[in-house]
Amino acid sequence: MFAGATLRERIVWNDSLACCQEKYKLGQKKPTNSELQKLFITQAKKTEDREWLSEVSNIPLQQSLNDLNQAYQNFFKSTKGQHKGRTIKPPKFKTRKSKQTARFRKGGFKVGQHKVYLAKIGKLKIVWSRQLPATPSSVTVIKDSANRYFLSFVVEIQPETLPETDNSVGIDLGIKTFATFSDGTKVDAPKPLKKRIKK
């Protein structure tokens, strides 16, 4: 069922991106997020080609368009020099080889002790890597290339204020030596390939 959600999320993203690119070629403004949701979710479900979008929750489909909108905003800011760091490229079409994810926001999931419920998917048995420090506002299901599934939660916590100190140290990152501190301490570079090559 998760594969179906990611497929539909990818279709909504690609249909919307194609529309945005076509508008750009015609010299027209990019459609708003609400316009894209109406066209490629609400109205698309009523067509024969896209009626199967109804088989999954609206939440990951809407989140896909939120992500597309954010990708465009980052791109526009980058072209205007308002984005720090590397240049952001425009959004690309998603393929089957793209990382498969589906994001669920409040109302679309519920966290239990040993299971997580996802809308229109059902209960998933999970193994916790750590306890959640607070109630999550969203969860992203991730499927990697080895067909493993992971859940990534977004939680809000209060930042911890560390005690003031007069001690400070500079860190220089290198290749042969992973890090050299200004007090002379050196940290060797990890060499996982060399350690495991015999295996």
Does a structural domain hold residue 77? yes
Closest CA to 128 of 117, 120, 116, 136: 116
Does a structural domain hold residue 87? yes
Closest CA to 112 of 100, 120, 122: 122
Instruction: Tell me the backbone φ, ψ of residue 168, rounded to 5 degrees.
Output: -145, 155
pLDDT given for residue 57 in this prediction: 82
Does a structural domain hold residue 123? yes
Q: Where are the alpha helices (DSSP H) in 31-110?
A: 33-37, 58-79
Q: Tell me the CA end-to-end span of the chain in Å, nearest whole number.
A: 37
Sheet holding 186-188, edge to edge: 171-173, 177-181, 186-188
Q: With contact defined as beta carbons under 8 Å apart, do 101 and 140 qualify?
A: yes
Does a structural domain hold residue 174? no
Q: What is the dihedral of CA 98, 117, 15, 82, to 10 degrees?
A: -70
Does a structural domain hold residue 99? yes
Q: How far is CA 22 from CA 27, 36, 79, in A?
A: 9, 13, 20
Query: CA–CA separation, 11 vs 146, rounded Å?
Result: 23
pLDDT given for residue 154 in this prediction: 93
Does a structural domain hold residue 71? yes
Query: CA–CA separation, 139 vs 131, rounded Å?
Result: 14
pLDDT in single tens digits along all 199 residues of the chain: 555 567 788 899 999 999 999 999 999 999 999 999 999 999 999 999 899 888 888 888 888 899 899 999 999 988 888 777 778 899 999 887 767 788 888 888 999 988 999 988 889 899 999 889 999 999 988 887 777 889 999 999 888 888 888 888 899 988 888 899 988 899 888 777 777 787 7
Does a structural domain hold residue 21? yes
pLDDT given for residue 2 in this prediction: 55
Which domain, by its residues, includes 37? Answer: 2-154
Q: Provide the domain count of the chain.
A: 1
For residue 154, the cross-strand partners are 138
Does a structural domain hold residue 23? yes
Question: How is residue 97 written in tokens?
Answer: 């080889």
pLDDT given for residue 7 in this prediction: 76
Query: CA–CA separation, 101 vs 170, rounded Å?
Result: 39
